């Protein structure tokens, strides 16, 4: 039987390269500022946050790597190129976020048992700069995160950092005026819970794509309806839908036709409709009722 291949390309995530490079430079500068103030004020919380922000820079770099890998053409050993690696990178970013949540929780528990004096003014001003930088980065990534798990991961990293900075400002101000050091770990635990909820969806989506599950937003029953909507198509079977990358979805299916005469036109119409439903790479195999009957030993 003949196999037809059809490609549709969505807007490439590579167009976000400039935003990511700008964000990386901005965040590296903030890490340096935070580290300097942390050493100057002997603030463990600022130094810890600087380390956390440095891990986010690493996550942004990972996304840039993903953008580069998705452009690699197929070769003798990787017939789809390195597209699938973008899914693995999104999974790694989700794990990094979970590790960050764990670090926040551990540090908060430690602060409950051994409260650390905080220079409220210095910490609040530095964290205020963090709100501006991380908030700006998150804002720049907000639009792209809807269509790419890797961009969503980077976006969540920046939102998490913004929330952490907000928490540090709040706790710094409260501690400065009241001396209630207990506020710091309480705010940190609340922030950790918010980050965990957001990260869980990213983790589950990444795991599903990693094991070739159907991507979010693709309805299998709806796709079956698209395949059988043509008058010439009697039945669709052997339907498989999976992610080629964090932005591309593939499908293979066998279609039983009344006859093969109109197959080129039918195939083109179906693939166009599939592209409208988010399937960018479709491989369709036509079959006749006689061939189908032979397979079932009629």
pLDDT by residue, tens only, the chain of 298 residues: 444 444 444 444 445 778 888 888 888 988 888 788 777 766 666 666 777 778 778 888 888 888 888 888 888 888 888 888 888 988 888 888 888 888 878 877 887 777 666 666 777 787 788 888 888 888 888 877 777 778 888 888 788 888 877 877 877 787 777 777 777 778 778 877 877 877 888 889 889 999 999 998 899 999 999 999 988 898 999 999 999 988 889 999 999 998 888 899 999 999 999 999 989 899 999 998 765 555 555 4
Neighbours of 149 (CB within 10 A): 28
Class of the CATH domain delimited by 4-210: mainly alpha
Whether the CB-CB separation of 236 and 268 falls below 8 Å is answered with: no
Whether the CB-CB separation of 194 and 163 falls below 8 Å is answered with: yes
Q: Measure the CA–CA gap between 262 and 288, rounded to whole angstroms.
A: 12
Sketch the domain layout of the chain as residue ranges. Answer: 4-210, 220-295
State how far the alpha carbon of 243 is from the alpha carbons of 10, 100, 295, in Å. Answer: 13, 27, 29
CA–centroid distance for 199 within its chain: 10
Q: Measure the CA–CA gap between 252 and 269, rounded to whole angstroms.
A: 16
220-295 maps to which CATH number? 3.30.70.1350
């Amino acid at each position: 039987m003949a196999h037809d291949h059809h490609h549709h390309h969505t807007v490439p995530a590579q167009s976000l390269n400039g935003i990511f490079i700008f964000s990386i430079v901005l965040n590296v500068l903030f890490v340096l500022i935070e580290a300097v103030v942390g050493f100057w004020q002997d603030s463990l919380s600022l130094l810890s946050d600087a380390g956390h922000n440095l891990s986010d820079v690493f996550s942004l770099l990972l996304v840039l790597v993903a953008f580069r890998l998705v452009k690699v053409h197929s070769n003798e050993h990787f017939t789809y190129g390195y597209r699938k690696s973008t899914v693995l990178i999104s999974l790694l970013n989700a794990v990094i976020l979970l590790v960050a949540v764990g670090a926040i929780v551990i540090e908060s528990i430690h602060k409950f048992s051994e409260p650390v004096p905080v220079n409220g003014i210095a910490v609040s001003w530095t964290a205020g700069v963090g709100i501006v930088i991380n908030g700006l980065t998150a804002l720049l990534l907000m639009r792209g995160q809807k269509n790419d798990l890797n961009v969503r991961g980077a976006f969540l990293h920046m939102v998490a950092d913004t929330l952490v900075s907000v928490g540090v400002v709040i706790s710094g101000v409260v501690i400065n005026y009241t001396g209630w050091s207990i506020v710091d770990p309480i705010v940190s635990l609340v922030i950790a819970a918010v980050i965990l909820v957001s990260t869980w969806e990213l983790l589950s989506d990444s795991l599903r794509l990693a094991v070739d599950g159907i991507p979010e937003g693709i309805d299998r029953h709806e796709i079956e309806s698209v395949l059988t909507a043509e008058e010439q198509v009697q039945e669709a079977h052997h339907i498989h839908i999976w992610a080629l990358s964090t932005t591309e979805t593939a499908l293979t299916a066998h279609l039983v036709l009344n006859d093969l005469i109109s197959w080129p036109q039918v195939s083109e119409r179906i693939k166009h409709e599939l592209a409208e439903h988010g399937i960018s790479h479709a491989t369709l195999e036509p079959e006749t009722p006689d061939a189908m009957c032979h397979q079932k030993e009629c």
